[in-house]
């Protein structure tokens, strides 16, 4: 810094170097060089702040409070970085903002999604024209605090470009052992950022570097069920939208049935971002009527929705479409939350094998081949598949799909086609299938349950290995649902088809199946032990003890 001041004092104001040095010194002067003040963390205040802005999410709030409690006890600013993972619109950014408010710190957010140049993080060297510091130093300049809260939004969407790897640049930023001497390329001197509280957000963990994940404390946020969205709408969203559009003084209310219809028919999603958008649109329509001095409903009813928003966008058509032979309804988990997955199977002319459409990934293709091989072996009827091939299609062809959890759904669609019998209605299923018929564990169970509930599916077939995950899901999410844990595909078949239909399958298989997994079989009652038998048993026990 002293060297730069000396150069500045001798520089000619008419040269380019003069402005470069002056800009550099201005940036240095604007940084918070003083030690960060000691801030007391008030857990009660933190809890009230989180409760004020967010409904439910008790597990998430508890994790955050535990994290803050440890920070308070250690009295050490260094520590783990929080990573909030969940579908869009569930409140990740607002939770980060609430954490900053609860800690009494300033908040700075910037998105790293699509970032390809590591200079965005670590700055450009001063040899470049128009060079500036990176986002981290810029955040400290703006907040004027060394212990601010910085949110790294959409960290799962980082890219690698010819200018470097931003994910690798973040390693130095987020590593507590390195960020005490963080060196921005523009400043070219060490700056202590260990007091900064970093929070990152992501929709999925799949695309995040394992090295980065090791430095973070992961907190999962799940999608909301309809009941939760109704409460969020009534307590937060409706007031916010009215105020935003200047309609608060007119005392407009929303009937509860209309709220449910708005959620189910106009904004079917995991979060509430789309719900806010359609509500905003509805209130703007009312605002026009107010300005024109036309009549408008003081209490919005279900019948008013079509007037203001048009024909409903979402229906339960997938449930209807899954009620014909060759179809089955699966449950999927994507970066935007849970979803239902209709799978269709059809016989077409060919020389055996399987034709796949619907933009399926490599893993899903392999799952379909496993499902076909297993069902062929199960039916023991080669003539069904001779001179014919199966066309397997997953609708919504513009959306990429991948993962192994559709295995039992694909097998069920193929079996339904082969038996020319539709599966029982109301079932949604998820589970990876092996060649031997075992059903393996899957991920995202809560998201899948929420998706099923959203479209009116109340019977869920899931892997027995996920039983522990089901028990961790709150009861209010599982309310009104029926769950069927399975460890083999034979159990799935018994749930989806009548016994008369199942008995047409390979007879030896059916006889074996009845004795293993038949859920309708009755256990023989235990025989009562008579008094004479009890005396005989006690004598035998006494004799055994004497021998010892």
Model confidence pLDDT, tens digit, residues 396-423:
877 778 889 999 999 999 999 988 999 9
What backbone torsions phi and psi does residue 39 show, to the nearest 5 degrees? -110, 130
pLDDT computed for residue 527 by the predictor: 43
- The mean pLDDT of 257-283, rounded to a whole number, is 91
pLDDT computed for residue 200 by the predictor: 94
**Could you tell me the two tokens for 157?**
């969407």
What DSSP state is assigned to residue 131? Answer: -
- The mean pLDDT of 288-294, rounded to a whole number, is 93
Residue whose structure tokens are 């907190």: 219
Give the Å distances, CA to CA, from 1 to 26, 69, 185, 529.
11, 39, 15, 94
pLDDT computed for residue 532 by the predictor: 45
pLDDT greater than 50 at residue 497: yes
pLDDT tens figures, 120-148: 888 888 878 778 898 999 999 999 998 89
Q: Which domains are assigned to the chain?
A: 31-220 (3.40.50.300), 226-309 (1.10.8.60), 327-515 (3.30.230.10)
pLDDT greater than 50 at residue 521: no
Query: Is 442 in contact with 463 (CB distance < 8 Å)?
Result: yes
Rounded to the nearest integer, the mean pLDDT of the chain is: 83
pLDDT greater than 50 at residue 430: yes
Residue 445, exposed/middle/buried by CB under 10 A (0-12, 13-18, 19+)? buried
pLDDT greater than 80 at residue 334: no
- In this structure, of 193-207, 221-235, 502-516, the range with the lowest mean pLDDT score is 502-516
Helix ranges restricted to H, 11-81: 16-30, 43-53, 58-74
Confidence of residue 528 (pLDDT cuts 50, 70, 90): very low
- Longest CA–CA span in the chain (Å) reads 116
d(CA 84, CA 60): 9
- The mean pLDDT of 51-57, rounded to a whole number, is 82
Catalytic residues: 405, 448
DSSP collapsed to 3 states, 323-357: CCCCEEEEEEEECCEEEEEEEEEEEEECCCCEEEE
pTM for the model: 0.80
Confidence of residue 482 (pLDDT cuts 50, 70, 90): very high
Q: For the chain, give the percent of residues with pLDDT over 70.
A: 85
């Amino acid at each position: 810094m002293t060297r730069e001041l000396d150069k500045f004092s001798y520089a000619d104001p008419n040269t380019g170097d003069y402005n470069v040095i002056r800009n550099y010194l201005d940036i240095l002067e604007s940084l918070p060089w003083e030690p960060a003040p000691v801030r007391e963390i008030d857990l009660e205040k933190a809890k009230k702040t989180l409760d004020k802005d967010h409904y439910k999410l008790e597990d998430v709030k508890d994790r955050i409070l535990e994290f803050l409690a440890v920070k308070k006890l250690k009295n050490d600013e260094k520590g783990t970085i929080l990573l909030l993972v969940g579908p869009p619109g569930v409140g990740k950014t607002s939770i980060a903002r609430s954490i900053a408010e609860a800690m009494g710190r300033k908040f700075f957010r910037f998105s790293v999604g699509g970032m390809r140049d590591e200079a965005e993080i670590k700055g450009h060297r001063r040899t470049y024209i128009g060079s500036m510091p990176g986002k981290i130093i810029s955040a400290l300049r703006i907040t004027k605090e060394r212990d601010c809260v910085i949110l790294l939004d959409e960290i799962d969407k980082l890219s690698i470009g010819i200018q470097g790897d931003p994910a690798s640049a973040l390693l130095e930023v987020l590593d507590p052992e390195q960020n005490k001497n963080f060196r921005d390329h523009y400043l070219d001197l060490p700056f202590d950022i260990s007091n900064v509280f970093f929070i990152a957000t992501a929709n999925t963990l799949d695309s995040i570097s394992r090295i980065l994940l090791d430095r973070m404390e992961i907190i999962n946020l799940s999608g909301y069920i309809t009941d939760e969205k109704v409460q969020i709408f009534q307590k937060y969203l409706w007031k916010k939208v009215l105020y935003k559009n200047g309609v608060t003084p007119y005392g407009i209310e929303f009937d509860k049935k209309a709220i449910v219809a708005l959620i189910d028919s106009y904004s079917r999603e995991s979060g509430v971002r789309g719900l806010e958008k359609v509500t905003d649109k509805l209130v703007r329509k009312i605002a026009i009527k107010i300005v024109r001095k036309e009549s408008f409903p003081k209490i919005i009813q279900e019948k008013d929705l079509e007037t203001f928003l048009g024909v409903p966008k979402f229906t339960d058509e997938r449930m209807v479409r899954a009620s014909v032979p060759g179809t089955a309804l699966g449950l999927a988990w994507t970066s935007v939350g849970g979803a239902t997955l209709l799978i269709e199977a059809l016989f077409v002319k060919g020389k055996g094998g399987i034709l796949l459409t619907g933009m399926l990934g490599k893993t899903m293709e392999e799952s379909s081949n496993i499902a076909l091989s297993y069902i062929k072996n199960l039916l023991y009827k080669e003539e069904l598949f001779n001179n014919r091939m199966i066309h397997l299609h997953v609708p919504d062809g513009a959306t990429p799909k991948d993962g192994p959890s559709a295995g039992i759904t694909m097998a069920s669609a193929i079996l339904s086609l082969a038996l020319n019998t539709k599966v029982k209605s109301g079932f949604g299923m998820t589970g990876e299938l092996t060649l031997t018929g075992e059903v393996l564990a899957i991920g995202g169970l809560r998201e899948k349950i929420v998706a099923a509930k959203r479209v009116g599916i109340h019977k869920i077939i899931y892997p027995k290995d996920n039983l522990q995950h089901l028990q961790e899901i709150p009861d209010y999410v599982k309310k009104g649902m029926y769950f069927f844990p399975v460890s083999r595909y034979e159990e799935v078949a018994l749930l989806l088809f009548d016994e008369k239909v199942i008995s047409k399958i390979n007879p030896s298989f059916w006889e074996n199946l009845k004795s293993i997994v038949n859920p309708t079989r009755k256990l023989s009652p235990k025989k009562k032990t008579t008094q004479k038998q009890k005396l005989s048993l006690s004598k035998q026990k006494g004799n055994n003890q004497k021998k010892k």
